[in-house]
Amino acid sequence: MTRKLFGTDGVRGTANTFPMTAEMALMIGAAVGRYFRRDNGGVHRVVIGKDTRLSGYMFENALTAGLTSTGMNVLLLGPVPTPAVGLLTPSMRADLGIMISASHNPARDNGIKFFGPDGFKLSDEVEAEIEALVESGVRPAGPETIGRAKRIDDGRFRYQERVKSTLPYGMRLDGVKIVVDCANGAAYKTAPEVLWELGAEVVPLGTAPDGLNINQGCGSTNPQAAAEAVVAHGADVGLCLDGDADRIILIDENGQIADGDQIMALMAARWAEEDRLRDGTLVATVMSNLGLERFLEGRGLRLERTGVGDRYVVEAMRRGGWNLGGEQSGHIVMTDYATTGDGLMAGLQFLCEMVRSGSKASELTQSFERVPQMLKNVRYDAGKAPLDTAPVKSAIQAAEAVLNGKGRLLIRKSGTEPLIRVMAECEDEALLQQVVDGIVTEVAAAT
């Protein structure tokens, strides 16, 4: 089945614009409720979390209405990180988990992410079946079997205890000064509390959400303020989360920024030394730097690449039985501990290595030398298909011919925004600039 509503990570778009309207959220809630409540017997539950966007109130209520109309009982967690929903769905014996968030996107956007009863995100096939139910409509439950809604006050604390439990027993962060940027998002209470409880000296940023400032000049996509704070406060390290805290970017004591590739390199090498890295394999997407692949090969390890999206990373990990994966953007997935990317959990693993080894952050965030990589985004109008035009196709073919044997090229549509992403890698930076700019020019002309 073809999916129209779902992208690479649930349903996403601008609030109050199709498909992110209250009416559509109600219909989606009813459809997913009917899908997971296939019979009329027993108790059926769904847990719903959200980030701090103003539109979260609207979607929380609309989804609750749709779900209860099919007999699902709704457990409302309030603002929690996305990985908390992945954790609490099976923990609370729920049939379904829903996270209302557009992750790193600006406040005007929102999204709906789904987790199955095992805490993992739904497959493309299941999402297509749910879309079919949205289109055909669903039969509501009888008046006597309408579901109930209940607010769960301790969901955040349950998650925080789980995150702390991933550290070795008794390990503390005493004497470590940490700048933590919560992006005015879902972890604005969770992350500072966890770090403080572990003994760290915490300098919090992005912890005053007002519904409109999520990811605004802060967080993993805007780490400059945190980098400046690390230097100004003489901190040992900075942790930058995104709006729903499922990704992380690190900052060393000098204010230098390290992405998910460097985090994965460190963890893969350490886990391999401890015989914890299953089958000597790290799973990452086609966006990860060629330098990471070379680093792993030099240690007898393997990089398994997937399509872009942490969901596809997790699916590959589950198929192959591998336990470490992620994305350059900062999604770090550790299936020994969690069902999806978890920024705070990954940050704690990095801090654990700092404490264990006595190393500075700068000594741990530069595991390999990056191959020069350039990524540019071109926004396009809905309804247009710039990648299908002859000039764009010709520009891509020419670039591939030029880069043959010298680098690689990746052109793709974003699954979360109306953007064409043009990425290339090449040791020759002048050639890299020429190739990317040439394609971007043609794509822009076709939009």
Q: Are residues 11 and 146 in the same domain?
A: yes
Residue where a domain stops, chosen among 199, 233, 255: 255
Q: Are residues 10 and 148 in the same domain?
A: yes
- For residue 173, the tally of other CB atoms under 10 A from its CB is 23
Residue 168 lies in a domain: no
Residue where a domain stops, chosen among 330, 364, 398: 364
pTM for the full predicted model:
0.89
The string of pLDDT tens digits covering residues 83-142 is 999 999 999 999 999 999 999 999 999 999 999 999 999 998 999 999 999 999 999 999
Amino acid, res. 109: D
Q: What is the pLDDT of residue 7?
A: 83
Task: Label residue 309 by pLDDT band (50, 70, 90).
Answer: confident
| φ and ψ of 173, to 5 deg | -115, 30
Residue 343 lies in a domain: yes
Q: Are residues 125 and 33 in the same domain?
A: yes
For the ranges 37-41, 58-62, 402-406, 427-431, which has the lowest average pLDDT?
37-41
Of 55, 69, 101, 103, which is the active-site residue? 103
| Percentage of the chain exceeding pLDDT 70 | 98
For the ranges 186-200, 332-346, 403-417, which has the lowest average pLDDT?
403-417
The candidate with the shortest Cα–Cα distance to 329, out of 314, 309, 351, is 309
The candidate with the shortest Cα–Cα distance to 396, out of 354, 429, 365, 438, is 438
For the segment 270-289, the average pLDDT, to the nearest whole number, is 96
Q: Sheet harboring 407-413: ordered strands across?
A: 373-379, 419-426, 407-413
Domain that holds residue 335: 260-364
Q: Are residues 244 and 383 in the same domain?
A: no
Q: Are residues 402 and 271 in the same domain?
A: no
Q: Are residues 20 and 147 in the same domain?
A: yes
| Percentage of the chain exceeding pLDDT 90 | 91
Task: Label residue 442 by pLDDT band (50, 70, 90).
Answer: very high
Task: Label residue 8 by pLDDT band (50, 70, 90).
Answer: confident
Total count of domains within the chain: 4
Q: What is the pLDDT of residue 383?
A: 76
Mean per-residue pLDDT of the chain = 95
Q: What is the pLDDT of residue 414?
A: 83
Largest CA distance in the chain: 69
Q: Indicate if 357 belongs to the active site.
A: no
Burial class for 77, CB neighbours closer than 10 Å (0-12, 13-18, 19+) = buried
Residue 159 lies in a domain: no
Q: What is the pLDDT of residue 39?
A: 64
Q: What is the pLDDT of residue 189?
A: 98
Is residue 2 scored above 70 in pLDDT? Answer: no
The string of pLDDT tens digits covering residues 396-411 is 999 999 998 888 999 9
For the segment 324-331, the average pLDDT, to the nearest whole number, is 96
The string of pLDDT tens digits covering residues 356-375 is 999 999 999 999 999 999 99
Residue 209 lies in a domain: yes
